[in-house]
Amino acid sequence: MTELVHYEIAAGVGTVTLDSPKNRNALSRQLTTELFDTLTAAQDDESVVVVIRSADRVFCSGADLSEAASGGMEDGAKFLVEMQRLIVTHPKPIVVRLGGPVRAGGLGIVASADLAICADDVTFAFTEARLGLAPAVISLTVLPRLTSRAASDTFLTGRTFDASEAAAMGLVTRVVPGDELDAEIARTCADLMEAHPQGLAETKALLATDILERIDAKAAEMATLSARLFASDGAREAMTRFLERRASS
């Protein structure tokens, strides 16, 4: 199989690159497994900071609907919970570089990360409700980042919103012009590397306490809800219609 997640270390920064352009970096079984394994290995390597980015413009389009429409999502939902938990509990700061759109499940990765640096033309959407679903599993990390009004607005409508609104609601850390994104990522990593590794790990653990408690308390419930909705007739019909429209466009 062609590798979908690449990893390289340079000057103390471990860069994880999502590279599945065929399905817009959808969270397929292969991509999530490779991402999980890469982040696990990065816990003990010589990197000080880990950056997650995409090779192409789209950061992540959410769940792999082709897989979801053809089989159960129980294992996938549980695995996405564990992915978020790994990012939250990772001993190293994890920075997400957003140079392109993020949808649905991909926002669980964004919300789990310690910092999310975003280009000003990036768009976001929680599209689950439009497919007969709910952002159940990713709510474990997304809800602690958002105000309750922002969550109600974006979760229920599924509307697309821009980078400045994402920053205002707490979903991303900073927004910069697209041509300054890489420089801002470099500055952020340099600032983080001024700290002692122990200081980074202990401070990160302190900051993650509330999110981690939420994950551990509600993981099973949210994974069960997600699997039930993906298996429902309503969601299967909506996902099939979406895939047919995309194939014909």
For 87-138, write each residue's pLDDT tens digit.
999 999 999 999 999 999 999 999 999 999 999 999 999 999 999 999 999 9
List own/partner pairs for 238-241 with CB under 8 A and 24 or more apart: 238/130, 238/131, 238/132, 239/65, 239/68, 239/69, 239/131, 239/132, 240/69
Q: Would you say residue 159 lies in a domain?
A: yes
Q: Would you say residue 49 lies in a domain?
A: yes
Q: Would you say residue 214 lies in a domain?
A: no
**Upper half-sphere CA count for residue 2 (Cβ side, 13 Å):** 6
User: Residue 55 maps to which CATH number?
Assistant: 3.90.226.10
Average pLDDT along the chain: 96
Q: How many independent structural domains does the chain possess? A: 1
Instruction: Give 211's strand partners.
Output: none
Q: Would you say residue 234 lies in a domain?
A: no
Tokens 């306490």 appear where?
A: 209
Q: Would you say residue 211 lies in a domain?
A: no
Range of the domain at 77: 5-180
For 52-91, write each residue's pLDDT tens digit.
999 999 999 999 988 887 766 888 999 999 999 999 999 9
Q: Would you say residue 185 lies in a domain?
A: no
Q: Would you say residue 231 lies in a domain?
A: no
Q: Would you say residue 187 lies in a domain?
A: no
Instruction: State the Cα–Cα distance between residues 233 and 229, nearest whole angstrom.
Output: 9
